[in-house]
C-alpha cells in the first residue's frame, strides 16, 4: 500500500500510540495537549539537536532537523541528526552533502545513521526504537539504501546507544503505523484505563482516568441492574 502526500501522519505519534492509545487519540484526534516536566525537557532536547548548521567531522557529514517521509508507512517527520559517511575512496573533501550525493552514482556503500535525541534513559518498551526505526525506513525509501542500525542519545546518560534495526522492530513499526492510520480513520478515542504510567502522562488532568473508570463502573452496575429487572418482569408475566 502506498499513501499520498496529503495522507501522511506524524512519526512522533507512534511513541504516543505505544505509550497509550488513548493519549495518542487525545493528542492527534482531539488536539488536546499539555506539557509536563518530561515533555518540556524532551522539547528542549529536540530543539537543541536541531540547532546549528550541517558540518563535517572526521570525514562524516552531520545534518540536523532533516525532513523525512515514507509513502509506504504513510508517515512524515524530522530527523534530529543524520550521520552520512561516504565509502572509502569517496571522501567528502569539504563538499556539502548535496554536492557529494550529486557526484556519487548512488548512495550504495554509504553508511547512513539516524540519531534520535531523548530525555531520560533507555526505556523498557519500544517507543523510542520504533520512532527511530520509522525515521530509518523513511531515509531508506527516500534514498534507496539500507540502514542496519540507528542511535538514540539519552539525556540522562549523555551518550548514544546503538539500536540494531532488525526485522522484529521493523514489523512493530509497520504495525504501529497501520494502527495509527486506522485510529485516525475511525476517529474513536479509546476509553481510559488507570495504570501506573498515568502518573507520568502529561494529559492526566485532561484524561481523568480514575473518574472515567468510576463512571464506566457505575454505568456497568446500572446496566446490570436494568437487565436483571427486565428479566424479573418477564418471569413474573
Contact set for ligand SF4, span 81-120 (CB under 6 A): none
The C-alpha cell 551518550 sits at 159
Taking the complex as a whole, the smallest distance from the CB of residue 189 to ligand SF4 amounts, in Å, to: 9
Nearer to ligand SF4, 20 or 163 (CB): 20
- Separation CA 161–CA 90 (nearest Å): 27
C-alpha cell at 124: 523498557
**What is the x/- site pattern for ligand SF4, positions 167-206, by CB under 6 A?**
-------------------------xx---xx--x-xx--
Q: Following DSSP, what letter does each residue of 64-102 receive, concatenated? A: EEEEEEETTTTEEEEEEEEEEEPPTT---TT--HHHHHH
Taking the complex as a whole, the smallest distance from the CB of residue 154 to ligand SF4 amounts, in Å, to: 21
Nearer to ligand SF4, 11 or 204 (CB): 204
Nearer to ligand SF4, 68 or 198 (CB): 198
Residue 15 near ligand SF4 by CB under 6 A: no
Nearer to ligand SF4, 17 or 68 (CB): 17
Taking the complex as a whole, the smallest distance from the CB of residue 199 to ligand SF4 amounts, in Å, to: 9
- Separation CA 49–CA 135 (nearest Å): 15
- Separation CA 89–CA 67 (nearest Å): 29
- Separation CA 161–CA 206 (nearest Å): 34
The C-alpha cell 507520568 sits at 200
In 3D, which of 146, 128, 162, 142 has the Cα closest to residue 73? 142
Taking the complex as a whole, the smallest distance from the CB of residue 123 to ligand SF4 amounts, in Å, to: 14
- Separation CA 237–CA 32 (nearest Å): 51
Nearer to ligand SF4, 193 or 229 (CB): 193
Contact set for ligand SF4, span 17-76 (CB under 6 A): 20, 22-23, 26
Taking the complex as a whole, the smallest distance from the CB of residue 169 to ligand SF4 amounts, in Å, to: 23
Contact set for ligand SF4, span 204-233 (CB under 6 A): 204, 207, 209
- Separation CA 41–CA 8 (nearest Å): 27
Nearer to ligand SF4, 59 or 190 (CB): 190
Query: Any idea how long the chain is?
Result: 237
Residues contributing to the site for ligand SF4 (CB under 6 A):
20, 22-23, 26, 192-193, 197-198, 201, 203-204, 207, 209
Amino acid at each position: 500500500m502506498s499513501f499520498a502526500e496529503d495522507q501522511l501522519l506524524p512519526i512522533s505519534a507512534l511513541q504516543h500510540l505505544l505509550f497509550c492509545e488513548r493519549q495518542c487519540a487525545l493528542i492527534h484526534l482531539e488536539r488536546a495537549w499539555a506539557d509536563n516536566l518530561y515533555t518540556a525537557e524532551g522539547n528542549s532536547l529536540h530543539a537543541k539537536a536541531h540547532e546549528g548548521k550541517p558540518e563535517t567531522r572526521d570525514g562524516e557529514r552531520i545534518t540536523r532537523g532533516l525532513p523525512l517521509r515514507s509513502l509506504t508507512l504513510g508517515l512524515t517527520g524530522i530527523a534530529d541528526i543524520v550521520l552520512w559517511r561516504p565509502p572509502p575512496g569517496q571522501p567528502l573533501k569539504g563538499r556539502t552533502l548535496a554536492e557529494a550525493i550529486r557526484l556519487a552514482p548512488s548512495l550504495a556503500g554509504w553508511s547512513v545513521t539516524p540519531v534520535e535525541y531523548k530525555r531520560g534513559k533507555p526505556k523498557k518498551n519500544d517507543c523510542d526504537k520504533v520512532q527511530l526505526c520509522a525515521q530509518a525506513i523513511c531515509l531508506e525509501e527516500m534514498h534507496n539504501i539500507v540502514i542496519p542500525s540507528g542511535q538514540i542519545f539519552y539525556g540522562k546518560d549523555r551518550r548514544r546507544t546503538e539500536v540494531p534495526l532488525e526485522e522484529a522492530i521493523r514489523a512493530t513499526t509497520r504495525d504501529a503505523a497501520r494502527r495509527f492510520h486506522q485510529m485516525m480513520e475511525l476517529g474513536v478515542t479509546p476509553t481510559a484505563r488507570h495504570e501506573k504510567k498515568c502518573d507520568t502522562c502529561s494529559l492526566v488532568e485532561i484524561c481523568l482516568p480514575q473518574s472515567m473508570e468510576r463512571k464506566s463502573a457505575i454505568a456497568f452496575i446500572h446496566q446490570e441492574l436494568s437487565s436483571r429487572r427486565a428479566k424479573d418482569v418477564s418471569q413474573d408475566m
